[in-house]
């Protein structure tokens, strides 16, 4: 009997990963079984390559990966695969930097692929953006002078009482050129990428590459940067810990990221025979 191959797209934080940023043995085992049976597993994350490649190798993936919420689509293990990098125009980024200086935000950070530009030295933020100490070459200093290239993403760490004002400014002045989203607590960082970039864009290209129809795309997520992907997938699955807006558009809701939500759903939905060994 030939199985119908599915494309399984996994968000990382709050979805595949537990709150300790680990993949549970159960979920790992289920994903392994799914791959053994011919299904295709991909990571679709807001994280940069350097902060997600460790999980990619842990799962033994040999597939393309979506990073920066769709602004980078590439294949970590196949150099012949054309990477698609869609940064925002540098002049747009620098106009936003100006507005942030006017609002006196706490800090600003720009990423050009795996290079990080940090406006002001901040060890806490540096910890988030380095997956291992030797990773992430940081350039520290005013983005106005240091940032010369088109950034893949721009991140703003505003003061609490400026979040709404800043987001309104982005909507009023830059809506045609950028997308912006807010991270969850405790950081409340505003993340900006080029207009039209989201995880669904990357997923669509991967599905086309493998010849997988939409009704056989299973996507898992928990936050607002997963909305387009969950909406696009034929089988959009919200985690039990997902935001309400995501649950309202998902076709299915599974258990939380702490309760093997991904593994539990796939085992049942794909009728996988996972060895308990």
Under DSSP, the state recorded for 193 is: E
Calpha distance 64→62 (Å, rounded): 7
Pairing of strands 153-157, 190-194: antiparallel
Which sign does the torsion angle of CA 6, 10, 15, 21 carry?
positive
Which position among 11, 13, 222, 226 bears the catalytic label?
11
The HSE-up count of residue 145 (CA atoms within 13 Å, CB side) is 4
Element holding 115 (H helix, E strand)? strand 115-118
Task: Quickly count: other Cβ atoms within 10 Å of residue 38's Cβ.
Answer: 11
- Catalytic residue flag (residue 36): no
Element holding 140 (H helix, E strand)? strand 138-140
- C-alpha to C-alpha distances, 160 to 90, 163, 167, 187, 221, nearest whole angstrom: 26, 6, 12, 10, 26
Cite the active site residues: 11
């Amino acid at each position: 009997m030939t199985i119908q191959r599915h494309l399984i797209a996994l968000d990382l934080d709050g979805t595949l990963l537990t709150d300790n940023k680990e993949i549970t043995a159960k979920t790992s085992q289920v994903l392994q079984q799914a791959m053994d049976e011919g299904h295709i597993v991909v990571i679709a994350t807001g994280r940069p390559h350097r902060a997600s490649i460790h999980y990619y190798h842990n799962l033994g993936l040999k597939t393309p990966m979506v990073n920066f919420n769709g602004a980078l689509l590439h294949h970590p293990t196949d150099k012949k695969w054309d990477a698609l990098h869609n940064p925002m125009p540098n002049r747009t980024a620098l106009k936003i930097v100006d507005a942030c200086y006017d609002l006196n935000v706490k800090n600003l950070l720009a990423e050009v692929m795996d290079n990080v530009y940090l406006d002001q030295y901040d060890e806490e933020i540096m910890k988030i953006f380095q997956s291992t100490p030797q990773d992430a070459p940081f350039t520290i200093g005013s983005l106005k002078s240091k940032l010369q290239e088109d950034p893949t993403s721009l991140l703003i760490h505003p003061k609490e009482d400026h979040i709404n004002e800043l987001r309104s400014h982005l909507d009023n002045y830059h809506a045609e050129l950028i997308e912006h989203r807010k991270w969850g607590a405790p950081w409340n960082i505003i993340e900006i990428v080029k207009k039209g970039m989201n995880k669904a864009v990357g997923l669509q290209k991967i599905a086309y590459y493998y010849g997988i129809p939409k009704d056989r795309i299973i996507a898992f997520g928990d936050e607002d940067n997963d909305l387009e992907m969950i909406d696009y997938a034929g089988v959009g699955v919200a985690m039990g810990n997902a935001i309400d807006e995501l649950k309202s558009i998902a076709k299915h809701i599974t258990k939380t990221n702490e309760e093997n939500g991904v593994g539990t759903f796939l085992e049942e939905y794909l009728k996988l025979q996972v060895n308990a060994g």
